[in-house]
Amino acid sequence: MQPWPGRSYPLGATFDGTGTNFALFSELAEYVELCLFDEAGDETRVRLEEVDGFVHHGFLLGVGPGQRYGYRVHGPYDPATGARCNPHKLLIDPYAKAIGGELDWDPALFAYDLDRPEERNDDDSAGHVPFSLVVNPFFDWANDRQPRTPYNETVIYEAHVKGLTQTHPDIPESLRGTYAGIAHPAIVAHLKSLGVTAIELLPVHQFITDHYLSEKGLTNYWGYNTIGFFAPHDAYASRPGRQVEEFKGMVRALHEADIEVILDVVYNHTAEGNHLGPTLSMRGIDNCAYYRLVEDDEQHYMDYTGTGNSLNVRSPQTLQLIMDSLRYWVTEMHVDGFRFDLAATLAREFYDVDKLATFFELVQQDPVVSQVKLIAEPWDVGPGGYQVGGFPPQWTEWNGLYRDTVRDFWRGEPATLGEFASRITGSSDLYQDNGRRPYASINFVTAHDGFTLTDLVSYNDKHNEANGEEGRDGADDNRSWNCGVEGPTDDAEVLALRYRQRRNLLATMLLSQGVPMVVHGDELGRTQGGNNNAYCQDNEIAWVDWHLDEDETDLLHFTSSLTAFRHRHPVFRRRRFFQGKPIRKADELRDIAWFTPSGEEMKEQNWDDAFGRSIAVFLNGDAIADRDLRGVRITDDSFLLALNAHHEDIEFTLPDGDYGATWTVVVDTATGAVEQPGGDMFDAGAVLNVSARSLVALQRVMS
C-alpha cells in the first residue's frame, strides 16, 4: 500500500470522505511506520516517507472510519539522554479521536531494564495495547447551540458517567453506565428538577487501569489516568466503536435541556507513569518533547502529580497537543468548559508555579478556548503547589478554602467567623484584587475526592479497607464530624442531627456568593460507607443508589427547592462583590451588614470572639449594583440569614426597622422548610429562636 504525500496538519487521523490523512510529530524519529490492522488482527505496515517540521505524514485512499491503526517509531533508544524509541512497541496515536480494545498487562509493555538496553527489542506489544481508530467526523447536530449560562446563574453538578446511571431503574440496562445513559430522559429530568445548569463529568478522555490496581482486581474508576486526549472513553459507549457518536448525542440532548457539559480534564500527566512504566504512546514517540525529565538525570521524570510523570508544558509540541485537544472538544464535540485537574502543574514552566506561564497566555489569546468555562483545581502535589486565588482573571477555581471553612463552621470549630464571612460572600480576599468577580469561586463542601455529604456528617475517620492499602490512601484531614456515633446508627437523635447538618451544608453553599457545585448523589443521601477515596471502586460503593427512603426523598426535595429559590433571587448570585456601603446616593442602607445574635452590628472585637459560632447577615436586594442585558438595574427582595453552629438554641434579635419592618421565615434547616406558605412573621426588634446547629433565612416583607 503506497501512501500519497498527504498533509502535515492536522495531526492525527483525518477522514475526508475519500480517505484518511495520517500525521504524527516526532523530532527523535528516524522514520515512522503506520500500522493498519484488519478484523483478524493481521498487521500491514506503511512507511510515512513525508516529513515536514518533524511531522511524519501520508494519505491513504479508501481508508475510512473504523480502521484500526497504531505507529512504530524507529529512532534512538538511550534512556540516559531521555530517548526511548523502540519499533517493537506498537504506539497509540496521541491525536487519536477514538481508541478501542483492551489493555493486556503483558511484560512487553513495560520499560526495559535500564542496565540492559540491548534487550529492548525482545518483545512486540501488538495485541497488548488498545488500537487507535479512524472516526467519522460527520454528525447531525440539528439545531444544537451552547447554552452559555452566565457564571453567576450556574449550578454545577459533578458526576461520573457510570456512577450516576448504573443503577437507575428507569434506564434500560443496555444504556446504564454510558453516555447514552446520561442522555436518557430520566437523568435529564432529574438534573432539570434539581436546578442544575451544568454537569461536570469526571474524566471521559480515554484512560486505562494501571498495573498496580489491575493486579489487585480493582479498576481506575475515576479515570485520572489518561492515554488519549482526543478520544471519549470507549467503555462508556453502549455500542462498541460508537463512543464518538454517543458522546455527541449526549451533549446534544443536554443542550436541548439548557444544560452545559463541562469536562474534568487531566493534562498534567499520562498513564505511562514513571521510568518503569509502560510504553504506550508519547514515551515511545518523543519522550523528551512530551514529558518533563529530571535535569542531569533524563532517564527519570519530574513528578508534580504523584502519578510518576508530568507533561512538559515548556515544549511547543506539548502545548500544541493540549490546545488542539481543548479546541477539538469545543468545536467538534460541542462541550462548554473544562475543569483542569491539578492545574498548578500546567503553570510550572521551570520549577515554581507561575500564573503567567505560556499555557495561560495561549488560553488567553485563543478565540475558541478563551470563550468557554475554565475551572482550575488550583493545586498540585509539588512544592508551592497550593495556589487558591492565584490563577489569571479569566479563570475560576475550586475554592478549597471555602470547603474547609464551611466544614469547620458547622462542626463547631471556634474562631472561624471572619473567614467564614469572607467565604460565603465570594472570597473577595482571594479574587477581587486581580479583577475577578465573586463567581471566580467555585463553592463546594464535597467533591468526588473525599467523603460524600452523608459520610461527612457520619464519620470522623476514613474507612478505606476496600481499597486494599491498609488505610494509607485518602486524606486524613477531612474536617468531618460523625455527630456522636461512627458510621451507621439507629439513634434517632444522632440521625436527626445528621439530617440537619446535611441541610446546613447544602443551604450554606446554595445561599453563598459564587458558583455552587453539588456532587452527584449528595442530594439523595449517597454514602460510600466512609470510604473517602473511592477512585478504584467500580461497584456499589461508588455508584449512586436511586432507591430512596423517606428521609432521602425529603433531602432531594429540600435541595431542589433551595436551588429554585437561589435561581429566583439574584441577591444570592451577585456579579459584583459587596462594598459594605450604600451603592447609590439615594440608598439609605449598605449592600451588606453583619449582626451579632443580640441584633447589634458586628464590631472588630466580635470577629475575633473565640466563641464565634453564630452570626446574622443582611443582604440588601435594592443594592445589587448590576444591570441586565437591557441596562435595567437589577433589584431583589432583601434577606436576613441567621446562622447558629452552636450546640444549643440561640435567640437572635432582628435588626431595627431601618433594615425592615416585618420579616417572614423562608428557609429553616431545622425543619427542612423552603418557602412554605404561612411562614412565621416577625417584626423589627423581635426575638427569633434559631435551633441548635441550624440556619434560618428571613425575607423582608414589603409594606
Q: Which residues are catalytic?
A: 341, 377
Length of the chain counted residue by residue: 703
For 117, what's the count of Cα atoms within 13 Å in the CB-facing half-sphere?
13
Please report the sign of the dihedral spanned by the C-alpha atoms of residue 429, residue 431, residue 434, residue 437: negative
Cell 473565640 identifies what position? 610
Contact present, 13 and 68 (Cβ < 8 Å): no
Do the strands 226-232 and 55-61 form a parallel or antiparallel pair, or are they unpaired? unpaired
Q: Is 109 left (phi over 0), alpha (psi -120 to 50) or beta?
A: alpha
Is 128 in contact with 282 (CB distance < 8 Å)?
no
- Check: CB of residue 52 under 8 Å from CB of residue 85: no
CA 169 remoteness from chain centre = 26
Three-class SS string for 217-251? Answer: CCCCCCCCCEEEEEEECHHHCCCCCCHHHHHHHHH
Other Cβ atoms closer than 10 A to 517: 25
Burial class of residue 586 (count of CB atoms within 10 Å of its CB; 0-12, 13-18, 19+): exposed
Can you state the angle between helices 400-410 and 492-510, rounded to 10 degrees? 140
Contact 692, 648 (CB under 8 A): yes
Helix, strand, coil % over all residues of the chain, rounded to 5: 25, 20, 50
Q: Do residues 395 and 430 lie in contact, with contact meaning Cβ atoms separated by under 8 Å? A: no
Instruction: Confirm if 161 and 202 have CB atoms less than 8 A apart.
Output: yes
Tell me the one-letter amino acid at 331: T
Q: Are strands 614-619 and 226-232 parallel, antiparallel or unpaired?
A: unpaired
**Residue 392 DSSP SS3:** coil
Write out the three cell numbers for 682. Answer: 416577625
CB environment 137-158: b (16+ within 10 A), e (fewer): eebeeeeeebbebebbebbbbb
Q: Are 304 and 382 in contact (CB under 8 A)?
A: yes
The pairing of strands 614-619 and 592-595 is antiparallel
The residue among 374, 413, 408, 415 whose CA lies nearest residue 391 is 374
Q: Which three cell numbers stand for residue 489?
A: 446508627
Q: Strand 12-15: give its sheet, edge to edge.
A: 12-15, 19-25, 55-61, 50-52
